[in-house]
Structure 1
Amino acid sequence: MKLYIYEHCPFCLRTRMISGLKQLDMQYEVIMEGDAETPTRLVGKKVVPILQKQDGTHMTESLDIVQHLDQLAEPSYVQEVDAPELEQWCKDSADAIYKLVVPRFTKGQFKEIATDEARTAFVARETRVFGDLDDLIANSGEHLAKINQKLLELEDLVDTREDVHLIDFKLFPLLRSLSIVKGLQFGNKVNRYMQNLADKSKVDLLFDQAL
């Protein structure tokens, strides 16, 4: 099997999580930013992640891929559990998170933007959505304050989490994205949660790229 991904992408990270957790024999292929031909050839549109299944067919949508891969072997991770506080945390935090992480992603060290051409395409794409990215970084204060408060609230919500369920495929990719942001205050419990899932999933955190 093969996963076509961006390294920075939180939706792609969901698929990397399940592959790592289940120790699947998975190939990864990073699609360059600005490369619309490859995904369009595979699935008819520019999108990631894309899974090439064992039968050679392809599928998209990150949580659909997670659920498909979860069915291939035991144990099962994609279980619906009652976690309304965590679901609400993700919903309430998402806008500020993306305004913090997206402009920093464009300055990061990821294979999909390893060329000047690809990085320029990435900046142009995100500028169309978010506006001036340098201004967003320069004026991060409001969003930093909000997310620092949300991270404080998250401490007790993740304190006793041991098993991996569906909500973790939504929460952890957001937190991993935030690890590229300097000035955030990750408490001990959130840090432990993040490192535990990073280790189990065999994915990297981004603290070494924080800006």
Structure 2
Amino acid sequence: MARRWRRLAALAAAVAMLSSAVLGKVPLASTAPLAGARGLGVHIYDHCPYCTRVELVLGWHGWQPNRLVYGYADVAGPTALIGKKMLPVLTWHDSEGQEQKMCESKDIIEAVESTAESTTGRLIQRRTGRKDLKAWQTRLRRVMHGLTRPRLLQMPIKDFAREEDRKYQMDKYTARGFSYERALADTEKLAPKVNTLLVEFEELLRSDKALNAFGHSWDDLYVLPSLRVLTCVKDLVWPAKVRAYVEQNHADAGVACYFEHAC
């Protein structure tokens, strides 16, 4: 019986590793993957919300990895890391000098949160499931992209520094029916709707730096990257408390917003 259970355990481990490979995830070498990590690097697109949430958590923990930003049309760079064009990716050398890689923002954040080498302990609580917040996010998603997609292309970031990078993004969304010309023409219609949502968001904040009184949670990690993207839109009016929430949280992590380049 014991031999049978060992065979089943070995089979389960093999299936898990195969599933990780199929999903493009690099299996971890240990339960504490960042213990003794050296040469930490975070591979990102500057505008990507999944990348931003990883940078926020790294910064709040006081980690300063080497920041590697990719052009959006660069397929070879991210693919060389994990076999597909997908970021963020965290890279490091372990205590034995072996190079390690990790993708998926949630996995990276959990690794940072759980490492014994963090001097701050866990900072991020679970998502609360607040219905008021979920309803607000749904309404924001319906209107924000018409404002942000055309303007992100004009931000001074490596993501869209080359013509081919901008074309790659435009081709991606026009294939889904998005019109950049119509989006810009709709600015006067869309901006007031987002302004109203920003005013309403002020009522959702239950502390100056977090959506909930107990501190940062996954609620913040879902919302802050979207608000950061909105900082590229010049036509928006930010309530003081909302702007302070966005600016302070990103400043604490060493992540720049787009306010000064808004257009």
| Alignment TM-score, normalising by the size of structure 2 | 0.73
Which structure 2 residues correspond to residues 116-131 of structure 1 after superposition, within 5 A? 116-129=163-176, 131=178
Aligned residue runs from structure 1 range 21-100, under 5 A: 21-55=60-94, 56-72=99-115, 73=118, 74-80=120-126, 82=128, 84=130, 85-100=132-147
User: Does the aligned pair in 2 maintain the 1:155–1:187 contact within 8 Å?
Assistant: yes
Question: Which segment drifts farther, 6-15 or 155-164?
Answer: 155-164
After superposition, residues 135-146 of structure 1 pair within 5 angstroms as 135-146=182-193
Deviation for aligned residue 1:129? 3.4
Instruction: List structure 1 runs of 4+ shifted beyond 3 angstroms.
Output: none
* TM-score (ref. length: structure 1): 0.90
Matched residue SS, 2:249: helix
Structure 1 CA distance for aligned equivalents of residues 176 and 83 of structure 2:
22
Residues 1:195 and 1:137: Cα distance change in structure 2 (over 3 Å): same
CA contact (8 A) 1:179 1:210 kept: yes
Distance 1:147 1:79, change over 3 A: same
5+ unaligned residues in a row in structure 1: which ranges? none
Structure 2: unaligned runs, 5 residues or longer: 1-39, 210-214
Secondary structure of the 2:203 match is: helix
Instruction: Report the Cα distance in structure 2 between the residues aligned to 1:143 and 1:106, rounded to whole angstroms.
Output: 18
Question: 2:219 & 2:42 partners in 1: Cα distance?
Answer: 21
Larger relative contact order, structure 1 or 2 (CA cutoff 8 Å, min sep 6):
1
* Identity across the alignment (%): 27
